[in-house]
A and B are shown apart, each in its own frame.
Chain A
Amino acid sequence: DIQMTQSPSTLSASVGDRVTISCRASQSISSWLAWYQQKPGKAPNLLIYKASSLESGVPSRFSGSGSGTDFTLTISSLQPDDSATYYCQQYSNYPLTFGGGTKVEIK
């Protein structure tokens, strides 16, 4: 199975900060990576697919990059509404696997 490791597990930042979340795969997954945002008590929401493609309707302050084993989700200017947990997911191989999540808090 491909293991997905996210870091950090929690981060605290101020409104307007640039925030980066890392996701590392245990083996190469090419660009087959998606990112999701989950707010408390809500279902996850797709942000990014194929490592860097922005899902329709997602604010442009979100971006994704990387290929192979190392990936990054960037929020260019953190907003209060971005307080959530973020998950990466690989879809290169079965079983499909998620990272453990990164909780983003607003200072």
Chain B
Amino acid sequence: EVQLVESGGGLVQPGQSLRLSCTASGFTFGDYAMSWVRQAPGKGLEWVGFIRTKAYGRTAEYAASVKGRFTVSRDDSIGLSYLQMNSLKNEDTALYYCTRALTEPGGGYYFGSWGQGTLVTVSS
């Protein structure tokens, strides 16, 4: 069974940093792209970023709202994905979900499995 468990959320002040972790199990971690999706309180879903597999150079893509501030990384040896968040803003307050991203030839990525999320609150 695929399991994704996020950790690292909490309350931080604007301008500070936070690193989220996603612990994966139940599948061959290195074979899948990993992505982060967030949901502000009472709002819809917003894609944050993802990282491709080693076969695709572990390259990453980001939403414009976080590009230059957030970094997605992965450690295939221990089945972990990370979201490093710098220069946090009030509008980054959200529940952050780790997802296992799926794709097909010719298409981009969609989200096949989700963790339960970790809450990040940015407030002074």
Task: Determine if A46 and B108 form an interchain contact, defined as CB atoms under 8 angstroms apart.
Answer: no
Residues of B within 8 A of A97 (CB): 47
A30–B75 Cα distance when bound, in Å, is: 34
Residues in chain A near residue B109, CB distance under 8 A? 91, 96
Which residues of chain B in 68-124 are interfacial with respect to chain A, using CB atoms and an 8 Å cutoff? 97, 102-104, 106-117
- Provide the main secondary structure of the chain A interface: loop
Q: Is B61 an interface residue (CB 8 A)?
A: yes
Does B55 make an interface contact (CB < 8 A)? no
Whether the Cβ atoms of A32 and B107 lie closer than 8 Å is: yes
Query: CB-CB < 8 A to B114: which residues of A?
Result: 43-45
B44 touches A94 (CB 8 A): no
Q: Are B97 and A43 within 8 A (Cβ)? A: yes
Main secondary structure of the interface of B (DSSP, over half): strand
Interface residues on A, range: 20 to 34
**Closest residue of chain B to A49, judged by CB?**
B110
Asked if A73 is at the interface (CB within 8 A of a chain B CB), the reply is no
Contact of A50 among B107, B111, B115 (CB under 8 A): B107
Interface residues of A in 60-77 (CB under 8 A from B): none
Q: Does B11 contact A (CB under 8 A)?
A: no
Tell me the nearest residue of chain A to B107, going by C-beta.
Answer: A32
Query: Is A95's beta carbon under 8 Å from chain B?
Result: yes
The 8 A-B pairs with the shortest beta carbon distances in the complex, nearest first, are A91-B108, A43-B114, A34-B110, A96-B47, A98-B45, A32-B107, A101-B44, A95-B63
Q: A49-B104, A91-B110, A95-B64 are in contact. List 5 more A-B contacts (CB 8 A).
A: A43-B97, A91-B103, A91-B107, A94-B108, A95-B61
